[in-house]
């Protein structure tokens, strides 16, 4: 299947009366992840984040007809890949439409089931982008990842064959670009509020004066340094949570396993008696670095989960309301 053949196939199912040029631009947008870093957000505001956005209608129509490929944009598109929006689009198809699409794929030699249809079509497109950016080379069924009925393809290969190097995930013979590592922005974000509030409750207790998260300048040098370190830990694990969601099918499930195992590992230490909440937090962070987290397949990807990410898991537990406070644990 070529790029244009895939596009024309999808046009019959999710074209929604769009013009051919508009549909090509729309289809590519379904495979681009959301911007996450300040630089990416800035590029997105001026329509420079998505490499396939804002091109000429004539160029899109040539892609539709198979007269042009995406050689110049393929590498960046592959780096920014995400299947989430496309899968949601196919999932909304009616039963009859899905059955018809399965039949059309079968006629082209691509056999799948209703349960795996969404992932299968996404895999076809991403293989085309990776191996045939000129839009002319045909992708064969043998080049599509084999999945079990649960949709899994990566998990069986987890182990020493999977590792992170220079921002790329090497796994099962594949090389996948990961989104940039997130750095803590200057201002506290909305998703940080729960764990940040818990930290400031502990800081207020030990400093014997109420300090709000908006008053970081009121922290002593010691606790300002500690706060910066805790935010670094949070964004270190959050980079994995967000980045792996689009490249590893079972990411959310495996992150949840990580959090559950982390809580089991720190529970007794967390429930201990301490002079103040900062000491409880310190002891929990010491404990988590020596806690074995073998149940999640993410742990078996070399160079992925280190001590900083383990500490960040504790803050995710606060965000999930599993840990309610570092000070008043009985409330």
- 90 burial (CB, 10 Å; 0-12 / 13-18 / 19+) is buried
CB 213 within 8 A of CB 196: yes
Predicted confidence at residue 202, as pLDDT, reads 97
Predicted confidence at residue 159, as pLDDT, reads 40
Predicted confidence at residue 317, as pLDDT, reads 97
Predicted confidence at residue 246, as pLDDT, reads 65
For the chain of 331 residues, list the mean pLDDT of each consecutive stretch of 10: 94 94 94 85 86 90 90 76 90 96 95 92 88 73 72 45 76 69 89 96 96 93 96 94 75 90 96 96 96 86 90 97 94 73
CA atoms within 13 A on the CB side of 316: 28
pTM of the model: 0.58
**Long-range contacts, 138-145 (Cβ 8 Å, 24+):** 138/1, 138/2, 139/1, 139/2, 140/109, 141/109, 141/110, 141/111, 144/110, 144/120
CA R_g for the chain: 23
CB 136 within 8 A of CB 1: no
CA distances from 40 to 10, 228, 236, 307 (A): 29, 23, 18, 28
């Amino acid at each position: 299947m070529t790029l244009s053949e895939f596009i024309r196939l999808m046009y019959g199912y999710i074209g929604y009366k769009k013009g051919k040029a508009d549909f090509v631009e729309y289809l590519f947008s379904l495979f681009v992840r959301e911007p996450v870093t300040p630089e990416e957000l800035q590029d997105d505001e001026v329509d420079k984040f998505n490499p396939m956005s804002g091109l000429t209608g004539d160029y899109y129509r040539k892609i539709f007809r198979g007269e042009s490929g995406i050689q110049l944009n393929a590498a960046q598109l592959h780096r920014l890949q995400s299947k989430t929006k496309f899968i949601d689009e196919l999932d909304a198809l009616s039963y009859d439409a899905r059955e018809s699409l399965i039949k059309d794929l079968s006629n082209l030699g691509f056999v799948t089931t209703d349960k795996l249809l969404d992932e299968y079509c996404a895999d076809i497109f991403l293989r085309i982008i990776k191996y045939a950016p000129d839009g002319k080379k045909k992708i064969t069924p043998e080049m599509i990842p084999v999945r079990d009925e649960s949709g899994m393809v990566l998990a069986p290969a987890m182990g020493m064959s999977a590792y992170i190097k220079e921002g790329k995930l090497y796994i099962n013979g594949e090389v996948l670009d990961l989104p940039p590592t997130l750095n803590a922005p200057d201002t506290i974000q909305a998703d940080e509020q729960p764990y940040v509030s818990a930290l400031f409750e502990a800081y207020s207790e030990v400093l014997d004066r109420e300090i709000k998260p908006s008053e970081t300048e009121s922290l002593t040098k010691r606790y300002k340094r500690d706060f910066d370190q805790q935010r670094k830990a949070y964004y270190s694990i959050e980079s994995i949570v967000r980045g792996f969601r689009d490249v590893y099918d079972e990411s959310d499930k495996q992150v949840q396993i990580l959090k559950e195992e982390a809580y089991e590992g720190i529970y007794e230490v967390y429930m201990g008696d301490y002079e103040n909440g900062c000491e409880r937090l310190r002891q929990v962070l010491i404990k988590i670095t020596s806690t074995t987290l073998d149940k999640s397949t993410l742990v078996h990807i070399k160079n992925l989960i280190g001590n900083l990410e383990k500490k960040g898991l504790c803050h995710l537990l606060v965000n999930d309301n599993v840990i309610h406070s570092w000070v008043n644990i009985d409330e």
